[in-house]
């Protein structure tokens, strides 16, 4: 759920950054989400909010976004490592849980 990256910000994390070229070829710094592999660990906090439906042969899962953001933010605020993925050496999880980048990074 991409919205969980917003919950990261609400919990006090700064988004990670990457660099990309715009249509004119200029290099821009853009914010990007952290590693999402650990987001399923938020399931206990989100479980009370889950809504499911069957559409044809497909089973859909949805959450009310404001309540889900609040629940995810609360879980992360109480325990930042809750979203760490299974890779103990994951640099994206390490940096996000530590709060994210500090200050603008210079382009090289």
Shorter beta-carbon distance to Zn ion: residue 37 or 79: 37
Q: Do residues 95 and 8 make contact, with C-beta atoms less than 8 angstroms apart?
A: no
Query: Taking the CB of residue 23, how many other CB atoms lie within 10 A of it?
Result: 5
Shorter beta-carbon distance to Zn ion: residue 73 or 93: 93
- As measured in angstroms, the least distance from the Cβ of 100 to Zn ion is 14
- As measured in angstroms, the least distance from the Cβ of 99 to Zn ion is 15
Shorter beta-carbon distance to Zn ion: residue 6 or 94: 94
Residue 89: φ, ψ to 5°? -95, 10
Closest by CA to 5, choosing from 39, 56, 48, 52, is: 39
- As measured in angstroms, the least distance from the Cβ of 34 to Zn ion is 7
Binding site residues, Zn ion, CB under 5 A? 35, 37, 85, 90, 93
Return the structure tokens found at 30: 């853009």
Q: Do residues 18 and 73 make contact, with C-beta atoms less than 8 angstroms apart?
A: no
- As measured in angstroms, the least distance from the Cβ of 84 to Zn ion is 6
Query: Taking the CB of residue 65, how many other CB atoms lie within 10 A of it?
Result: 13
Shorter beta-carbon distance to Zn ion: residue 15 or 85: 85
């Amino acid at each position: 759920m991409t919205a969980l990256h917003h919950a990261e910000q609400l919990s006090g994390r700064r988004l990670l950054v990457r660099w990309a070229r715009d249509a004119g070829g200029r290099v821009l710094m853009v914010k990007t989400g952290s590693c999402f592999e650990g987001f399923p660990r938020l399931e206990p906090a989100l479980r009370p909010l889950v809504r499911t439906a069957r559409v044809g042969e497909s089973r859909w899962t949805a959450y009310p976004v404001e309540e889900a953001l609040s629940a995810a933010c609360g879980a992360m605020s109480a325990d930042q490592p809750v979203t760490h993925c299974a890779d103990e050496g994951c640099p994206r999880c390490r940096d996000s849980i530590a709060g994210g980048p500090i200050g603008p990074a210079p382009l090289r």
